[in-house]
Each structure stands twice: as structure tokens, then as C-alpha cells.
Amino acid sequence: MSKGSFSAPPQVLSLHGLLSDFDGTIIDSTDAIVKHWHKIGKELGVDPQTILATSHGRRSIDTMQLYDKSKANWEWVSAVEGRIPKEYGSDAVEIPGARALLSSLDEAGARWGVVTSGTRALIDGWLDVLGLTHPRMLIVAEDVEQGKPNPGCYLLGRERLGLSSSENEVVVLEDAPSGIRAGKAAGFKVLALTSTHSLEQCLEAGADWVVEDLRSVSVRGVEGGRLLLEVRNAYQ
């Protein structure tokens, strides 16, 4: 790859809506999730590193299908994930710029929401622990039949924002290749963060823009029902 830098000039996107992934995009709970899967791996007799190599950006119910089908059900997954913020709350931090972005999206009255591979119990727990703005529109693992990279979760997100199938000018915020591919397969533009994966992985997955974190993203306002989103210092 030719050597570039995170220095692209500011660009303002005019959008019908914004859909954001959660873990790795709004918060970084890597340390908590690692501890969680180490605990689960020990209980299952499976090397935690094996689980961790494939679990990021995937629903736990899909991960458990690989290791213990008896636990691949919403009752077990929700109960276990719901404990993570309680047990490991101090191990999660917000992605730089996330708090300001969520607050400004809400204050501007933008059409936005969160589309995550986590369960409702997990996301509600993290939002409460970290005191972040609760999205009015939240798609969680239980809401879809297939997780990312299947685009169904993002298409459902657009629908729940009240957008028609022709209102395709939506930007997806993502950090994982599976999520980037889901956003692109839905027909949306994807703004990727290098918070959990490398620049090369983000570009290979098809990201339209790549930034280091959400300090490069800000709300300019809402005009005529469209969200004006400024992106600075993208990779070029």
C-alpha cells in the first residue's frame, strides 16, 4: 500500500441518516470482552484465544454455535452478556469523540441509531455505566436472524429510522471488517475507525473513508431533514 496519512481536508456529507456500530466504534470494551471470553473459554474447555480470533463483530449466539450449541440461545446469551458491564465496567472506555458525537446527533434531531451485534442487556448496561446518550433507535443481536456481515441489520436500521428503500444516503460507522462489509452490502457508505483493526483491514473490507477515531467526525446541523456530517483527517 502506498504510504498516505490521516490528513484529508474537511468534507461535509449530506445524509438521510446515520447508523453506528457500538463496540469498537462508540466504546472500547476490549479488555472487558477478553476477560469475559477467558471466563467462558475456561468453562467450556476451549482456548480463549481461539474464541477471540473470531468473536469480534459477531453475535455471541453465532460464536456459541461453534463451541457449545446448548448455550446458543437468547436466554443464556442475554444473561451472560448482561453481566459484563456489571463485572467489568471499569475496563471499558468511550472511543475519543463518541460522547460529543452522540450528544450532538441527539440535540440536532438527526435521524440516527445504533446497530450492534451485542444484546440489549449488554448495550443498555454499557450506556448506563458510561453515561452515554441512549439512541432512540437501537437494533440489537436479538432483532435479526443473521448477524454481520449479513446486511439485514443495517437495512432494518434504515427502516426503523423511517427511511424508505430509496433513501440510501446513509453513512455507517464501523470498526470491524464484518460490519464494514455489512454496511456496504446494504448499499450504504461506510466510515471506518482504526480503533480495533488496521487501516489495511478497513480498506480491504471496502470502507469509503477511514479515520482514527470520532474526534474526526462532527455534526454541522440538520437542514431540510438531512444530517450534515463533517469528516476531517480521513486517510488519503
Which pairs count as long-range contacts for 199-203, CB under 8 Å and 24+ apart, including other chains? 199/1, 199/235, 200/1, 201/177, 202/175, 202/177, 203/1, 203/235
Question: Are the C-beta atoms of residues 19 and 172 closer than 8 Å to each other?
Answer: yes
Give counts: helices (H), strands (E), the chain. Answer: 9, 11
**CB-count burial class (<10 Å; 0-12, 13-18, 19+) for 7:** exposed
Residue of 21, 28, 175, 213 with catalytic role: 21
Is 62 part of the annotated catalytic residue set?
no
Name the maximum alpha-carbon separation found in the chain: 56
What is the rounded distance in angstroms from the CA atom of residue 172 to the CA atom of residue 188?
7
Q: In the structure grid, which three cell numbers stand for residue 57, read together?
A: 463483530
Residue of 23, 28, 208, 213 with catalytic role: 23
What is the rounded distance in angstroms from the CA atom of residue 194 to the CA atom of residue 200?
9
- Which is it for strands 112-115 and 17-20: parallel, antiparallel or unpaired? parallel
Question: Are the C-beta atoms of residues 111 and 228 closer than 8 Å to each other?
Answer: no
In 3D space, the residue among 104, 114, 89 whose CA is nearest the CA of residue 25 turns out to be 114
Tell me if the bond preceding 9 is cis, omega within 30° of 0: no
Is 23 part of the annotated catalytic residue set?
yes
Active site residues: 21, 23
